Chains A and B, each alone.
Chain A
Amino acid sequence: MSYASTAGHDEHHDHPTGILRWLTTTNHKDIGTMYLIFSLIMFMVGGLMILAVRVELFQPGMQLMQPDFYNQLIGVHALVMIFAALMPAATGFANWMLPLQLGAPDMALPRLNNWGFWLLPPAAILLTLPFTLALFGIGDGAIATGWTFYAPLSVQGGIGVDFAIFAVHILGISSVMGSINVIVTIFNMRAPGMTLMKMPMFAWGWLITAFLLIATIPVLAGAVTMLLTDRHFGTHFFNAAGGGDPILFQHLFWFFGHPEVYILLLPVWGFMPQILQTFARKPMYGYKAQVYSFWGIGVLSVVVWAHHFFTVGMPVPALIYFMFSTMAISVPLAVLFFCWIATMWRGSMTFETPMLFAVGWIILFGIGGLTGLVLADVAADAQYHHTYFVVAHFHYTLFAGGIMGIMAGVYYWLPKMTGHMYNENLGKLHFWLTAISFNLTFIPQFFLGLAGMPRRIPDYALQFADFNAVSTVAALVLGLSQLLFIYNIVSCARGGKKATDRVWEGSDGLEWTLPSPPPYHSFSVQPVIK
């Protein structure tokens, strides 16, 4: 929190100090900072959980934990990483950067903003509390169904399922409020002269994300509410004996779950071209094409959900529809990839840490996208479904495509937010360690999946031992490397070389016209865009 003193140093308004400042703040920069710090903490919490899982998988056989505890760790890891690390990181950037990029004095609905953030810590506690309760003999631990809550397992599960259901409710309310705030800010608070088609890409990415959240989060909330009534109030939504259907749960869950992937990624797709154009020192390629691709992907993402359970026994016409509609997403996505590459094409590129992350991100996220095409193939999916191939695939999209993208954004904007340059050498070291250990963690998992190792099982057959050992060692390196990231952020917040207003030689956009760090209240008089 040492960062607080730097953020507020040049303002002269009376607002509470100490903890009250953070509890009551409606300032978009304060709230953005809180989101980002919360996200970083939960990133480490979720990381620790999965490291315990990887250590258990280091060798075949059961060494460290009971299978039930293993199941709890994988499920809560996913829920924490998705809902408490990735989503808040994107919302944190939205809070910090949207008003600065749009030339607005603050977010449109500041009090809603404060509420949206302060719902998160209780939700995170609800998710993780059952672990602690189990230590005292209350209940049987956290949710052990995996993050997907599939019925009927979740109907039979212990107290942890109820905790997770309420956590999802609260997180959902927080996300929906954040989305409303983003949409109102983008529609109402842009600087005079900034038309929608002149908006920074980041705003476009977040606008689509916000609409997707509003459309799909209520479906998830509805599904888990039905689960709750099935568990406690005698309804039979997912109970075949009472006329319900467990497959219905999968449809409801993935109607939310697939757009969720794009919810996590669209904000990253938004700011990534801005980073690329900064360090390639030439304007973004294909602005309009990217905007239309965003819309295309946003619309397609809500009509392809059933490819997550091809093996459930769908009729062939449904399989074919979901296969081709899923593959159709690769068309707008390919447009984006070509735009990103064309933005760098023949540019005067330099490779500062954000650019390293951005270029690495394009390659690794590309691998994630291409392996997704393999899984979208109905015939191939029967082989790969529920194996480590799927695990490796979605970590290429969500760790490389999501988290490493967020890291690029952190390094890109950190000097603007703190007013200091971070340690460039440490940043580069962090990138190389992360990129290499990430690949060493997950490339073996592709092969494990191809060889038929099922996911979510704490033990495995002997022939999988070598790849698992490599994966575990690499995962430990990956986890430890993130301590460099934290050290770099903290020391950058504390001090260091002063950052210039523009920070990067090739940077472009309204946020770079402000001092670094920007004053507590910025753009009280909105700039005019010509």
Chain B
Amino acid sequence: MAALTRIEERQEANRRLGLKLLWLVGGSILFAVSLVPLYDVFCTGTGLNGKTQNTAAQSVTEVDENRWVKIEFTSSVMPGLSWNFHPQQNSIMVRPGKIETVLFEARNMTNQVVAGQAVPSVSPGSANNYLKKIECFCFVRQELQPGETKLMPLRFYVSPDLPEKVEAITLSYAFFSAVKKAEQGERAAF
């Protein structure tokens, strides 16, 4: 009889420890979910991964007249979007602090209304926080009528605080299809 109680006691202890370990599992799940916002905060905060702050910056007045920085533009259109998309200049030389405007040209090759979203990336990543956009077509999604060609402006300046060793910055834009239905139709075509 005494032996039986001992076994029951042990079963109870096992059950309790098992349930405690479930908290650990719950903690891991919570950790996994929180990694998504943490990753975003980390990347935009530090500029790692080329993620830019996709909001309009304030302009400054002070211009560094002693320095040239080369800004290169690259563009790509992701599968699922039948657009032509390219910058009007491949690169420009800028004075840090001076506001520049570059035009990007997009043309809808289809006979349907199509919306797209441009996603920017900056390389090198360490220059990320010094490239300030005042106005950008990437802030909102763009909608093109069938066959429409649109000139889209990018207004930006390079912060004068840009580290000396950075002489060239590449700003790349990838245009994604922004319409859910179009994306699904595209997937079937894969």
Q: Considering the chains assembled together, what is the distance between the CA atoms of A184 and B19 in angstroms?
A: 10
- Inside 8 A of A217's CB, which chain B residues have their CB? 28
- Inside 8 A of B174's CB, which chain A residues have their CB? 240
What is the 8 Å Cβ interface bit string for chain B, positions 6-49, against chain A (1 contact, 0 not)?
Answer: 00001001110110011011001101110110011001000011
Q: Considering the chains assembled together, what is the distance between the CA atoms of A183 and B13 in angstroms?
A: 13
Is there a chain B Cβ closer than 8 Å to A376's Cβ?
no
- Inside 8 A of A222's CB, which chain B residues have their CB? 29, 32-33, 35
Once A241-B78, A241-B177, A247-B49 are accepted as A-B contacts, the answer to whether A219 and B35 lie under 8 Å apart by CB is yes
CB distance from A145 to the nearest CB of B (A): 12
Is there a chain A Cβ closer than 8 Å to B102's Cβ?
no
Q: Is the CB of A188 within 8 A of B28?
A: no
Stretch at the interface among A20-28, A312-320, A457-465, A485-493: A312-320
Q: Is the CB of B14 within 8 A of A109?
A: yes
Is there a chain B Cβ closer than 8 Å to A245's Cβ?
yes
Is there a chain B Cβ closer than 8 Å to A193's Cβ?
no
Within 8 Å by CB of A215, from B15, B22, B28, B178, lies B28
Once A218-B31, A241-B117, A315-B126 are accepted as A-B contacts, the answer to whether A180 and B22 lie under 8 Å apart by CB is yes
Within 8 Å by CB of B119, from A179, A221, A241, lies A241
- Inside 8 A of A108's CB, which chain B residues have their CB? 14, 17-18
Q: Considering the chains assembled together, what is the distance between the CA atoms of A217 and B78 in angstroms?
A: 33
Task: Count CB-based A-B contacts (< 8 Å).
Answer: 92
From 174 to 190 in chain B, residues with beta carbon under 8 angstroms from any chain A beta carbon are 174, 176-178, 180, 187, 190
Q: Is the CB of A314 within 8 A of B48?
A: yes
CB distance from A108 to the nearest CB of B (A): 4
Q: Considering the chains assembled together, what is the distance between the CA atoms of A181 and B124 in angstroms?
A: 49
Stretch at the interface among A201-209, A248-256, A266-274: A248-256
Is there a chain B Cβ closer than 8 Å to A523's Cβ?
no
Within 8 Å by CB of B39, from A112, A180, A216, A248, lies A248
Once A156-B187, A241-B176 are accepted as A-B contacts, the answer to whether A255 and B35 lie under 8 Å apart by CB is yes
Interface majority SS (helix, strand, loop, mixed), chain A: helix
Nearest residue (CB) in A for B32 is: A222
Q: Is the CB of B176 within 8 A of A221?
A: no
Within 8 Å by CB of A219, from B14, B31, B178, B180, lies B31
Q: Considering the chains assembled together, what is the distance between the CA atoms of A108 and B125 in angstroms?
A: 52
Is there a chain B Cβ closer than 8 Å to A187's Cβ?
yes
- Inside 8 A of A37's CB, which chain B residues have their CB? none
- Inside 8 A of A242's CB, which chain B residues have their CB? 117
- Inside 8 A of A218's CB, which chain B residues have their CB? 25, 28-29, 31-32
Q: Is the CB of A183 within 8 A of B32?
A: no
Is there a chain B Cβ closer than 8 Å to A234's Cβ?
yes
Q: Is the CB of A183 within 8 A of B28?
A: no
Q: Is the CB of A184 within 8 A of B18?
A: yes
Q: List 8 A-B contacts (CB under 8 A).
A: A180-B18, A187-B17, A188-B10, A240-B176, A241-B119, A241-B177, A245-B39, A252-B35
Q: Which residues of B contact A (CB under 8 A)?
A: 10, 13-15, 17-18, 21-22, 24-25, 28-29, 31-33, 35-36, 39-40, 43, 48-51, 78, 116-117, 119, 123-126, 174, 176-178, 180, 187, 190
Q: 4 shortest A-B CB distances, which residue pairs? A: A241-B176, A222-B32, A218-B28, A108-B14
